[in-house]
Each structure stands twice: as structure tokens, then as C-alpha cells.
DNA sequence: ACTTACTCCTGCACGC
DNA sequence: TGCGTGCAGGAGTAAG
């Protein structure tokens, strides 16, 4: 499940292997992979050809490849199971290969978008003055963005009538956090996922943001989390952070702080993992 | 205006 | 063994 650290690992791989190269041709093998490109697959392919790729950028879980001198960018979201792979042209097609992009140079690699569950996809969009694809203007800056505004986030939390994990997953408040890193940051902060945000104090928000950044940076340092082997970097390699998870996926295992068995609750069509002792439920639930 | 629920999709781990 | 069921869940959109 690619979240911010995993997407950043992919972005770095693209920066190394794809930036500066010119698109020769592209091939869309599954229309759903370009569903956010409203003009359709043929238009997507046609408009890519001949453009040179600039430095890959990222906000939260979105990443994009600017197309030099065009005012446009290829926007990518990996969804649940999307992979961007740099492969030799003669490597066998992956079972779930959705899009192939070939380059006009002598480097013997092509870019492939592979996606089992097809929640992800690529699309082409105009970029705004700050280089952001226009369709992701509603996505908040992420906690590793130097321009992320901690105070504005704190005030937004207090304004909202919501609970803390909902807020962490709300990409218009803070981006890049998904189910895994939300549970990890909450465990480190000793916060229950259902705690209302209304009464959050500034120190509490500051601590939570600190833990969010810490856990993301730690994951980034070891190549991200590959919980179910669906996430890999552009070379097809897994990250190692799954071994360092303190909360996610640890139902029944001892809390690493207090040894109480970790609990799992069905929550918003997914799961929340937490320590029932360290992360007390709010009084009114 | 704001919050919540639904929906898309495939493969795998289950239990009977 | 084979089949049905549940689960993984990001984010746009519809509904409340």
C-alpha cells in the first residue's frame, strides 16, 4: 500500500532512470489505467510523444513527471497496488501491465505502469504556476514538505468536527498519510483513533506531527513498507520497513511499550490497529 | 457547507 | 477440491 514514503522512493527512482529522457511512444493496455485522462487512451499516447521528461515531483501520494516546455505533466497515482517499473524492453510483460512508455534514446529501458487492482493510473494535465497539476489543487501539502504549515493544520483540526484518524487520512488537510502510517503515528503519540480533534492542544498536534514525520523518514530510509509485496521501487525491489512496524498488522502481538496484546477494530471499511492500554478510547465514543 | 457512505478492482486466505 | 465469503483500501463522488 504505497503511502508517502513508498511514493517518494518511486519518485527518486524515476529521477534517476527516467528524468531527461524523451518519450518515443506509449501503449495503453488497459483503459481503466488512464480513466482520469478524460480525452481517452489515444489522446494520452498522442500527447506524450516527443516530449522530454523533467524532474519528477511529488505531493503526498501523487507524483508527476513534468513534460518540458509543454506546461503539462504526467500525473501518477499508485492507488492500492500500482507500480512504476523501469524494465529492459525484452523483459516479459507483467501479468498486470497497464501502460508502457518507450523512450527515444539508446538506454535499453522502458517505463511500465503495472497495477493489479487498477485503483491507480496515469493522466496528463496542465500545470499551474507553481508546477502543480491542476487537478490536485485540493491536495494539501504533506508533512515532509518544507512549506507544510503546522499552525494552520492545528487550527484546521480544531475547526473540524471529526476524529483524529479521519483527519490524518483527509488528504485536503494533510497529504501522504494512509492507513499504515496513520496507525503508526497514532501509536507513537499514544492517541486513540477515535479521539475528537476539537479539543486538541498545540503541543498534542505538534507531537503528532513530529511522530508522523519521524515514522515516514524512518520508512524512507529503508526503502518504504512492503507489507504485502505489492509495493516495490522502480527496480522491483521491496522495502524493509514492515519489520519495524509497531502497530499496523500486529493484532494479538504484544505492544512494544507495555506488552498488552494489540487490538484491531473494523473502522471505515478498513482496520485500525492500536494498543488498548496505551491508546485509551475517548470517554464518549 | 460540511460530514459520511458508497464504489471501483483483483487475488489471496479462509471455512465448510 | 472447490466454492463462496471476507479482506486489503485511496479517493472521487453521491448522498445525508
Task: Give the CATH number for residue A189.
Answer: 1.10.8.50
Report the mean per-residue pLDDT for chain A: 93
Instruction: Tell me which protein residue sits closest to nucleotide B12, measuring alpha carbon to C1'.
Output: A228
CA distance to A16, A64, A66, per residue, from A55 (Å): 9, 9, 7
Q: Within a domain: residue A193?
A: yes
Q: Is A49 a catalytic residue?
A: no
Task: Please state the separation of Cα A127 from the chain's center in Å.
Answer: 20
CB of A198 lies under 7 Å from some atom of strand B: no
Q: What CATH number is attached to the domain comprising A129?
A: 3.20.190.10
Domain match, A264 and A160 both: yes
The reply to whether A61 belongs to the active site is yes
Boundary of a domain, candidates A136, A160, A187: A136
Grid cell in block for residue A199:
479539543
Are A98 and A159 found together in one domain?
no
Other CB atoms closer than 10 Å to residue A42's CB: what's the count? Answer: 10
Distance CA A285, CA A283 (A): 6
Q: Report pLDDT for A29.
A: 96
A82-124: pLDDT as tens digits: 999 999 999 999 999 999 999 999 999 999 999 999 999 999 9
Residues A172 and A264 in one domain: yes
Same domain? A130 vs A192: no
Same domain, A174 and A234: yes
Do A183 and A267 belong to one domain?
A: yes
The pLDDT value given to residue A92? 94
Domain boundary among A110, A136, A162: A136
Report CA(A24)–C1'(B4) in Å, whole number.
Answer: 45
Does a structural domain hold residue A126?
yes
Question: What is the pLDDT at residue A237?
Answer: 80
Q: What is chain A's Cα-based Rg?
A: 20
Of all nucleotides, the one whose C1′ comes closest to residue A119's CA is: B9
- Which position among A58, A61, A188, A195 bears the catalytic label? A61
User: In terms of domains, do A125 and A55 share one?
Assistant: yes
Judged against a pLDDT cut of 90, whether residue A127 lies above it is answered with yes
Residues A115, A177 share a domain: no
What tens digit of pLDDT does each residue of A198-247 get? Answer: 999 999 999 999 999 999 999 999 988 876 556 778 888 888 888 889 99
What's the number of domains chain A is made of?
A: 2
Q: Is the pLDDT of residue A285 over 60?
A: no
Question: Which residue range is the domain that position A49 belongs to?
Answer: 4-136
Cα separation, A67 vs A23, in Å, equals 10
Q: What is the DSSP letter of A134?
A: G
Contact A108, A88 (CB under 8 A): yes
Residue A129 lies in a domain: yes
State chain A's maximal CA–CA distance in angstroms.
64
Among candidate residues A102, A136, A170, the one where a domain is terminated: A136
Q: Which helix (H) or strand (E) holds A59?
A: strand A57-59
Q: Which three cell numbers stand for residue A281?
A: 478510547
- Over residues A132-169, the pLDDT tens digits come to 999 999 999 999 999 999 999 999 999 999 999 999 99
Examine residue A285 and state whether it is found in any structural domain, yes or no.
Answer: no
Q: Which nucleotides of B are covered by protein (CB under 7 A)?
A: 2-11
**Residue A284 pLDDT greater than 70, yes or no:** no
Q: Is A160 annotated as a binding residue?
A: yes
Q: Does residue A141 form part of some domain?
A: no
Same domain, A78 and A23: yes
A164 found inside a domain: yes
Question: Which percentage of chain A shows pLDDT scores above 90?
Answer: 87
- The H-or-E segment that residue A111 falls in is strand A110-115
Residue A60, CB, strand C, below 7 Å:
yes
Q: Are A39 and A122 contained in the same domain?
A: yes
pLDDT at A211: 97
In this complex, the residue with its CA at the shortest distance from the C1' of nucleotide B8 is A119
A105 and A47 belong to one structural domain: yes
To the query of whether residue A2 is one of the catalytic residues in this protein, the response is: yes
Give domain status of residue A142, yes or no: no
Measured CA A260 to C1' B15 distance, in angstroms: 29
Long-range CB contacts (within 8 A, 24+) of A183-187: A183/A247, A183/A248, A183/A272, A183/A273, A183/A274, A184/A211, A184/A215, A184/A245, A184/A246, A184/A247, A184/A248, A185/A211, A185/A212, A185/A215, A186/A247, A186/A274, A186/A279, A187/A246, A187/A247, A187/A273, A187/A274, A187/A275, A187/A278, A187/A279
**A24 sits within 7 Å of strand B by its CB:** no
A37 vs A23: CA distance, rounded Å:
18
Distance A162 CA to B2 C1' (A): 11
Looking at the domain assignment, is residue A144 inside a domain?
no
A96 C-beta less than 7 Å away from strand B = yes
Rounded distance between C-alpha atoms, residue A75 and residue A232, angstroms:
19
- Predicted local distance difference test score (pLDDT) of residue A268: 86
Catalytic status, residue A3 = yes
The verdict on A115 and A187 lying in the same domain is no
165-204 of chain A touching strand C, CB 7 A cut-off: 169, 171, 175, 178-180
Amino acid at each position: 500500500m504505497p503511502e508517502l514514503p513508498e511514493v517518494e522512493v518511486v519518485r527518486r527512482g524515476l529521477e534517476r532512470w527516467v528524468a531527461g529522457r524523451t518519450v518515443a511512444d506509449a501503449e495503453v493496455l488497459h483503459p481503466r489505467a488512464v480513466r482520469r485522462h478524460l480525452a481517452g487512451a489515444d489522446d494520452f499516447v498522442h500527447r506524450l510523444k516527443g516530449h522530454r521528461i523533467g524532474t519528477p515531483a511529488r505531493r503526498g501520494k501523487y507524483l508527476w513527471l513534468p513534460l518540458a516546455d509543454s506546461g503539462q505533466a504526467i500525473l501518477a497515482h499508485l492507488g492500492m497496488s500500482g507500480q512504476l517499473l523501469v524494465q529492459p524492453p525484452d523483459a516479459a510483460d507483467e501479468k498486470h501491465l497497464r501502460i508502457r512508455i518507450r523512450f527515444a534514446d539508446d538506454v535499453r529501458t522502458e517505463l511500465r505502469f503495472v497495477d493489479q487492482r487498477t485503483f491507480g493510473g496515469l493522466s496528463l494535465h496542465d500545470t499551474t504556476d507553481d508546477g502543480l497539476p491542476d487537478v490536485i489543487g485540493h491536495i494539501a501539502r504533506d508533512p515532509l514538505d518544507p512549506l507544510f504549515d503546522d499552525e494552520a493544520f492545528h487550527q484546521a483540526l480544531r475547526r473540524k468536527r471529526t476524529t483524529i484518524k479521519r483527519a490524518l487520512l483527509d488528504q485536503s488537510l494533510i497529504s501522504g498519510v494512509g492507513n499504515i502510517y496513520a496507525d503508526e503515528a497514532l501509536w507513537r503519540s499514544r492517541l486513540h483513533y477515535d479521539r475528537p480533534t476539537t479539543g486538541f492542544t498545540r503541543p498534542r498536534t505538534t507531537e503528532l506531527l513530529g511522530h508522523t514525520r519521524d515514522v515516514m523518514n524512518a520508512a524512507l530510509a529503508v526503502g518504504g513498507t512492503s507489507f504485502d509485496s505489492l509495493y516495490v521501487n522502480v527496480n522491483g525491489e521491496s522495502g524493509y520497513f514492515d519489520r519495524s512496524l509497531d502497530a499496523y498488522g500486529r493484532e494479538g502481538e504484544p505492544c512494544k511499550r507495555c506488552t498488552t496484546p494489540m487490538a484491531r477494530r473494523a473502522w471505515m471499511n478498513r482496520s485500525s490497529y492500536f494498543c488498548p492500554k496505551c491508546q485509551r478510547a475517548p470517554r464518549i465514543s
